[in-house]
Amino acid sequence: MSTAILAGQPVPGSSIEDDLRSLGFEVHTAADSAAAENLLAQVPAGERVAVVDPRFVGHLHALRLGLTDPRFPLAAIPGAVTAQAAGRPALTRALARENAVGGGTTLVDSLADRVAAALDTDVHRPELGSLVAAVPADPQARNEARQAVAAVDDEAVRLKSAVKARDGFFTTYCVSPYSRYLARWCARRGLTPNQVTTASLVTALIAAGCAATGTRAGFVAAGLLLIASFVLDCTDGQLARYSLQYSTLGAWLDATFDRAKEYAYYAGLALGAARGGDDVWALALGAMVLQTCRHVVDFAFNEGNAGDAANTSPTAALSDRLDSVGWTVWVRRMIVLPIGERWALIAVLTAVTTPRITFVVLLIGCAFAATYTTAGRVLRSLTRRARRTDRAARALADLADSGPLALAAARFVRDRVRIPAPPAAAAGGLLVVIPAALWGASWQTALGALGYAGLSAVAVARPLKGALDWLVPPFFRAAEYGTVLLLAAESDVNGTLPAAFGLVAAVAYHHYDTVYRIRGDAGAPPHWLTRAIGGHEGRTLLVALLAVLLTAAQFKVALTVLAVAVALVVLVESIRFWVSAHRGGAPAVHDEGEPA
């Protein structure tokens, strides 16, 4: 249980003690700074502790924002300061210094504010907006503060702040106006964001099952359930913001389940189409490949520019100017097909058309969105003035997912071959994708895969600090996934494309998991994992060789075995890591992810 130390005697008629207890604090009173220091020392080291001025006047939600957010070791608002276990030493030092200066005398001004100012490390100070948090010095000021509190609806502010600051048009106007109330309903019944996230996953899987029936009723039900899953997907984040229930495990579940839901639905549509005699597995796999590559472009660009004080390119300045024209903001958000617009499009097309039409329209829309966003980011990078940091270069190297072949060759070519990383990665990809498209399972493709491994080594031989080096991971993803798609599509054996779908899904999970670890400051997956699953160049070469050496039927079996093996290894290690991080008290994070 958390502990709150009231640094002084409570003011008659004040609700501060009841407010703190409602937030889960055990309340103790300290007559002077020496007593406050003694009480702080008695609180177990692993518990949250807060020092609060008993004269505090403000909204309950202001206290909640200041004292209960799990993401920050130290936080403060006027009249209150709090520390989690990681911030306890800094709070103890600051209180000891204040006690030494004041000699432990009776408190006159705000001890909480003095301690917050004396902290020798970063302190989070939440943006309160219209919420009130004050320590009135006299009765008149106290009365004015109470009037200010009464003038603002605490609950309305809390509901508004539960909605993501930047969302797509569909989410903003078609989901959030009511999903925030669903989030509050969940909070009042003790439901957690992780439970809502799981409910969203289950709903999407049922939607995929309905789509797999191949009937018109099943397609209609699938579309409705997909929208319901998206509403729950919005609700879990809003519940986390409403109740400040952030966690490392929750951020991972939310991001991972989003991908699992969408790609499972693709598989359900493909199964449903097959029941009707239409084979759309190639389209389903193409949609997954395109969507994953889009995400890798986003991740690589953002991580490659992490650490910049600001985007200083003229292209970014133009974007900022366009943002001042209201309607352009919504148009630009909609044309990139964020998850809300994308899922709404998929749901409607599923209900009223066929799986083939759904995938064709989705591929066209995502291809246009990918072209638009990638072109804009290339322009920003070419005119970018800031230098890439070492951390950003390491993140890009981790996102590259280079295996033993590429890393060993990179040490050899580092001082011998000097080709810029993006052209090397792009040329390597073309070297394997073009033969796969022209000749399918052939020795030309296998030799192309070997050349791809060599050029991949050239691309990562030196730190990825060039202006366009963030393109290297997307080029690698497109080459690997595209090769698997082309070789599977060329096979005449039923089941090869579904097996390829499973393999790409397993590998994509590994790539997404790498991103989420980097975002959570947990580093990349362990080197043994990358070696065990071969790296992107090793897997590409292996698939090309299997396609040449095995019969079509054997190739299908090999892809299935490879998919299961990769999935088992990456899933077991990923789940072990995130559960251990959660149990080990890893700092809570809240990743807004892609705009909904």
Task: Supply the pTM of this predicted model.
Answer: 0.91
Which amino acid type is present at position 352?
A: V
For the chain, the average pLDDT equals: 91
Strand 25-30 and strand 2-7: the pairing is: parallel
**What is the predicted pLDDT for the residue at 102?**
61
Count of CB atoms situated within 10 Å of the CB of 502: 19
Q: How far, CA to CA in Å, does 513 sit from each of 254, 317, 510?
A: 12, 33, 5
**What is the predicted pLDDT for the residue at 218?**
98
Backbone angles phi, psi at 141, to 5 degrees: -65, -35
| Residue 104 reports pLDDT greater than 60 | no
Q: Are 400 and 473 in contact (CB under 8 A)?
A: yes
| Residue 316 reports pLDDT greater than 90 | no
Residue 11 CB partners (closer than 8 Å, separation 6+): 54, 55, 142
Residue spans of the domains in the chain: they are 3-152, 168-278+309-385, 387-591
Q: How far, CA to CA in Å, does 10 sit from each of 64, 77, 506?
A: 19, 18, 58
**In degrees, to the nearest 5, what angle opens at C-alpha 238 toward C-alphas 237 and 239?**
90
Radius of gyration over alpha carbons of the chain, in Å?
28
pLDDT band at 520 (very low <50, low <70, confident <90, very high): confident
**In degrees, to the nearest 5, what angle opens at C-alpha 368 toward C-alphas 382 and 290?**
90
Residue with tokens 């309607």: 327
Q: What percent of the chain has pLDDT over 90?
A: 75
Closest by CA position to 90, among listed 34, 49, 44, 42 = 49
pLDDT band at 106 (very low <50, low <70, confident <90, very high): very low
Q: Is 82 helix (H, G, I), strand (E, B) or coil?
A: strand
Q: Are 270 and 369 in contact (CB under 8 A)?
A: no
| Residue 107 reports pLDDT greater than 70 | no
| Residue 105 reports pLDDT greater than 80 | no
How far is the C-alpha of 160 from the C-alpha of 180, rounded, in Å?
8
**In degrees, to the nearest 5, what angle opens at C-alpha 405 toward C-alphas 400 and 408?**
95
Which amino acid type is present at position 307?
A: G
Average pLDDT over residues 194-222: 97
Q: What percent of the chain has pLDDT over 70?
A: 93
**What is the predicted pLDDT for the residue at 314?**
61
4 CA to centre of own chain: 33
DSSP string, 277-328: T---HHHHHHHHHHHHHHHHHHHHHHHHTTT-SS---HHHHHHHHHHTSHHH
**What is the predicted pLDDT for the residue at 9?**
80
Q: Is 540 helix (H, G, I), strand (E, B) or coil?
A: helix
| Residue 548 reports pLDDT greater than 80 | yes
Residue with tokens 């890009």: 396
- Encoded tokens for 378: 């290339």
Lowest mean pLDDT among 287-291, 321-325, 350-354: 321-325
Greatest mean pLDDT among 161-175, 310-324, 347-361: 347-361
Closest by CA position to 4, among listed 91, 117, 90 = 91
| Residue 322 reports pLDDT greater than 70 | no
Average pLDDT over residues 541-568: 97
How far is the C-alpha of 558 from the C-alpha of 556, rounded, in Å?
5
How far is the C-alpha of 590 from the C-alpha of 573, rounded, in Å?
22
How far is the C-alpha of 135 from the C-alpha of 54, rounded, in Å?
8
What sign does the dihedral 493-495-500-503 (CA atoms) show? Answer: negative
Q: How far, CA to CA in Å, does 497 sit from each of 127, 346, 445, 539, 560?
A: 51, 21, 18, 17, 10
> pLDDT tens digits, residue range 67-80?
999 999 999 999 99
As separate numbers, helices (DSSP H) first and strands (DSSP E) second, the chain gives 26, 7
Q: How far, CA to CA in Å, does 385 sit from each of 96, 299, 311, 371, 382?
A: 46, 20, 8, 23, 9
Count of CB atoms situated within 10 Å of the CB of 581: 18
Q: What fold characterizes domain 168-278+309-385? A: Four Helix Bundle (Hemerythrin (Met), subunit A) (1.20.120)
Residue 312 CB partners (closer than 8 Å, separation 6+): 384, 385, 386
**What is the predicted pLDDT for the residue at 165?**
78
Closest by CA position to 350, among listed 202, 208, 173 = 208
pLDDT band at 328 (very low <50, low <70, confident <90, very high): confident
> pLDDT tens digits, residue range 400-430?
999 999 999 999 888 788 899 999 999 999 9
